[in-house]
Structure 1
């Protein structure tokens, strides 16, 4: 028996076992004791076995604060990360680490399958006309704005891919952009669509939440924290991303105030170094800095910044500048000459923005300034029916699930656009008008299985009549699941 025990101990390290009687005995890969001596073994990923004593000692070591601080093991509190204890003995768990990486890669692939695919890969650098053509499928009008954004993104990633670190190379500076347009004209939607088309990290931040450092609110570094989160905490990937700062007009310098401007001019000054390019310390996994959050450094030299805002009241500043000349005499301009000009924002200058409340240093770091035109009736009608995810297509799909066909007359679409123009909130008004108009239809149609089609007319929009209902010619549609369940219970 002693010879057998010695032979077991000598062969335990090599993974062999006693096969006497056809039974294969398990061996602990840490203490090399057999199952007959150490007790029942625990099987862990990788096909290796651990005895209960070694497992308990490993957990005790991982929970020891001194060892955790020494090894920086912040994520070893659960069994899934147990193979990480191989850091204490590098010779123990290379197979386990390989298996964990393989599992993580498989999970990443599964997550990638669920994520919506990108239209373009920036490594192939799609030409500006291809980017604009893709934007045309979702955004109606605003051709000049789409052209500017397409060229800017194309040039930006050519710049990122070009190695300009050499002293002999020509350094290409980035061109940050400022979009100006009335509410509901498509500024944010344009950037969101761009983020779906490009396989790059994009962060959309709101300038209304930004305050000067030390005050309640988000610091300017929170903009980069969102970009880092969008890049999966990959610093290198985040340093070539795009940041869209919406409502940038809300950080304009406050006029005629005796209080400290902690959310206006101070925020503009805090954004200066980020816009131009600097090494910025950013909290990882949080929006604010504190002692408990790890920090990382991001270089903003290759990050493209796009700012957008409605700038209410800017039209009056532009009209004041254009009609500044004397209004007396035959060649004088009338003061109301630009009151009905729909493209008045296109005449904006950096001086107008300075008078609005933007500091010159901030305007200088946004060299590309362009405006989006306001929407007219024809553009609103096109927005209703032409984009891939148009509002009408959404409602047609909803009723299609009830096997009902939904149609709209052209006069009805024009009436919806006219009603939306009265609300003066741009394309957002279309959704509210449609919601009010479709409420009764979406409530009544599921009641009657005989309804096969519904046609919306102008009279129904103007509350002068009802929709045209067409009954089914063949068998009524199948009853819903709830009705079947109710009959079965009865």
Structure 2
């Protein structure tokens, strides 16, 4: 058993304050406290702990921690742990608002860990901001007063169609967060029995299931975690399990366990957990071990407490720095679980069950199988619990999901409305993309209709819109920024044949291209300053060569031709030397691009000799005991601290 002694160290000095940009403190102070194995604590005499009394490696850790902390009050406070021989082995860095203590943990038995110094940097401002954000989030939930109709109206701004789904979700979410609001107002309400309205969303890929849930989570302002059911394994098997989703809620809540326990967990592709084939078209026997995966969700879907850290990933509290420890367990009683899946096989089986067979040329109708706009009709709205069990979900699993709602497939007309009416329209994203290149994009009404029709033919729902738009605008994004073209109007013909429209735009733009290349030369000069702090000028010979080369080879750019100069650290160092010796930087000639090494050597050989008085001045500067704000020399820092503290 090792003895531990904790020493609290407070280092304050004018030199440290000057180096760190902090307010100077007049008197260096330190307090030493010793504790024995029994936990008895005796106050020691006030003493100053010099850095030279600590191991070299630990000195470097402390100095680096202090330098990186940018202390506002000039004080560096922390705890040093010593072993039974009195040798310092660990330093924990904090600030005056964080009480840093050493506590014995099971990991103390591991001698290898004790030999490695470990530094924790305090960050009071960031923690205060996080605490404020957490408080605001909980306050917003505590003030929840939305009505189902208001929630549906919010969804209408972003989601096209799906009236039934939006209505059902609005009621379920309002019911749930009304209960949460009462729990935050009354501790006794948390103990009351509660049956959560966990939700199952059914519908084909691209129909907006995930988008609906993300929109709801943003409206509510609660932590939101999304995952695919296919990545989970049974508890005890290598991989992720359902409990990991609950831990991710804590991460999304910035470690606020109370906020996390009112979050939303969304699991997509739950139909892949079915133990058997879903129907004639599925061609799948389900995910191996799917029954065990479903069983892992049974516990977390109701009321249980889960450790916020996996046992294998536990970190001793000693290494977490000062401050109050966060609660170690999180309750899932008020975590809302939402599952979704396409269930294509089940849909096919329900269709066969509810649609009568075609009875000759007089029987069967096209309208029975397809709605308007040639959108296949979904029969998932007619699914019962027994149907889900037949599809492969466990009875206990589907029984814990009382709210079930099917979303409708999207047709061409629906996709057109997505582009025109949704506040989250992907078309706005492409407009911003072109704006970043200095190009104003406009899309005509007839072009939107063609885009929607082509997206519907992709049979991937709203995701088909991105496929069609990317195929339409990809070449424009590549060519227009270097062509000097500032406007692009997309009509139906552009969507049908993007290349023809692009070729027409690029005709007769040589003058505009030259203007872009000249601007690129100025960009190179600006980038040289940003990367190397050097105000360089490209010589006329170099600019003329770059312009001619880029014109002769359209696939090459001025910036690309100058990349070797920008990336050459030795060139930047040589130019810094020239500027220091002569007070100016020569214009970069063409020779520098063609033979950089010889040009730099010639420049350096032509430099005047360094005068001796400059050396004397440099020596005088070195004798000054205050390090510059940009210095990273740890030895200099250590000397400053030792000199003042001693």
Decide: shared fold, TM above 0.5.
yes
Residue 267 of structure 2 aligns with which residue? 245
1:21-67 Cα shifts (integer Å, max 9, x gaps): xxx7644344435899x99xx998696878xxx98xx5243x78999
Question: Given the alignment of the two structures, is residue 32 of structure 1 paired with residue 35 of structure 2, yes or no?
Answer: no
After TM superposition, give the deviation of residue 264 of structure 1 in Å. Answer: 1.4
Matched, 1:278 2:304: yes
Matches within 5 A, 1:91-130: 104=123, 106-108=125-127, 121-125=140-144, 126-130=146-150
- Shift of the alpha carbon at 1:469? 5.0
In 1, distance between residues paired with 2:179 and 2:328? 24
SS in 1 for 2:472: helix
1:462 match: 496
Task: Write the distance in 1 (CA, Å) between the matches of 2:463 and 2:256.
Answer: 35
Q: What's the counterpart of residue 311 of structure 1?
A: 343
Alpha-carbon distance between aligned partners in 1 of 2:126 and 2:457, rounded to the nearest angstrom: 50
- Residues 166 and 232 of structure 1: CA distance in aligned 2, closer, same or farther (over 3 Å): closer
Q: Matched residues in 1 for 2:476 and 2:98: separation?
A: 59
Is 1:380 aligned to 2:402, yes or no?
A: no
- Deviation of 1:213 after TM superposition, in Å, equals 2.2
Equivalent position SS for 1:305: strand
Task: Identify the residue that residue 369 of structure 2 maps to in structure 1.
Answer: 339
CA 1:85–1:155: 2 relative to 1, 3 Å: closer
CA distance change for structure 1 residues 185 and 59 in 2, over 3 Å: closer, same or farther?
same
Cα offset, 1:174, TM superposition? 1.7
Offset at 1:326? 8.0
Change (3 A) 1:193 1:67: farther
8 Å Cα contact 1:224/1:282 also seen in 2: no
State the match for 2:246 in structure 1.
224
Residues 391 and 363 of structure 1, relative CA distance in 2, 3 Å threshold: same
The RMSD of aligned alpha carbons is: 4.7
**5+ residue gaps in structure 2?**
1-11, 13-25, 33-44, 54-61, 104-121, 317-326, 371-375, 526-536, 544-646
Listed one character per residue, the Cα deviations across residues 215-257 of structure 1 (whole Å, up to 9, x for unaligned) are: 3322221221212222233332222221111111111113599
Q: Quickly say closer, same or farther: Cα 1:260–1:173, change in 2 above 3 A.
A: closer
Inter-partner Cα distance in structure 2 for 1:87 and 1:215: 37
Aligned equivalents of 2:87, 2:351: Cα separation in 1: 69
Distance of aligned partners of 1:271 and 1:485 in 2 relative to their CA distance in 1, 3 Å threshold: closer
* Residues in 2 aligned to 1:67 and 1:276: alpha-carbon distance in whole angstroms: 51
**299 and 67 in structure 1: CA distance in 2 versus 1, 3 angstrom threshold:** farther
Q: Does 238-247 or 259-268 show the bigger shift?
A: 259-268
> 1:3-22 maps to which residues of 2 (within 5 A)?
none
Alpha-carbon distance in structure 1 between the residues aligned to 2:487 and 2:287: 58
Closer/same/farther in 2, CA of residues 289 and 180 from structure 1, 3 Å limit: farther
Residue 59 of structure 1 is matched in structure 2 by: 80
2:392 alignment counterpart:
357
1:401 is aligned to 436
In the alignment, is the contact (CA less than 8 A) between 1:403 and 1:452 conserved in 2?
A: yes
Give the superposition deviation at 1:424. Answer: 0.8
Question: CA 1:110/1:470 → structure 2, altered by over 3 Å: closer, same or farther?
Answer: farther
Deviations 1:103-133 (A, max 9, x none): 8552145569999x98x93222122233223
Q: Is the 8 A contact 1:212 1:262 kept in 2?
A: no
Q: Choose which of 352, 362, 367 in structure 1 pairs with 2:402.
A: 367
**In structure 1, distance between residues paired with 2:523 and 2:75:** 51
Structure 1: tracts of 5 or more residues without a match: 1-14, 16-23, 90-102
Q: Please point out which of 146, 150, 170 is paired with 2:166.
A: 146
Shift of 1:187: 0.9
Shift of residue 357 of structure 1? 0.9
Q: 1:255 to 1:429 in 2, by over 3 A?
A: closer
Label 1:46 to 1:300 Cα distance change in 2 as closer, same or farther (>3 A): same
Matches within 5 A, 1:325-336: 334=364
Give the helix-richer structure, 1 or 2: 2
Aligned to 2:483: 448
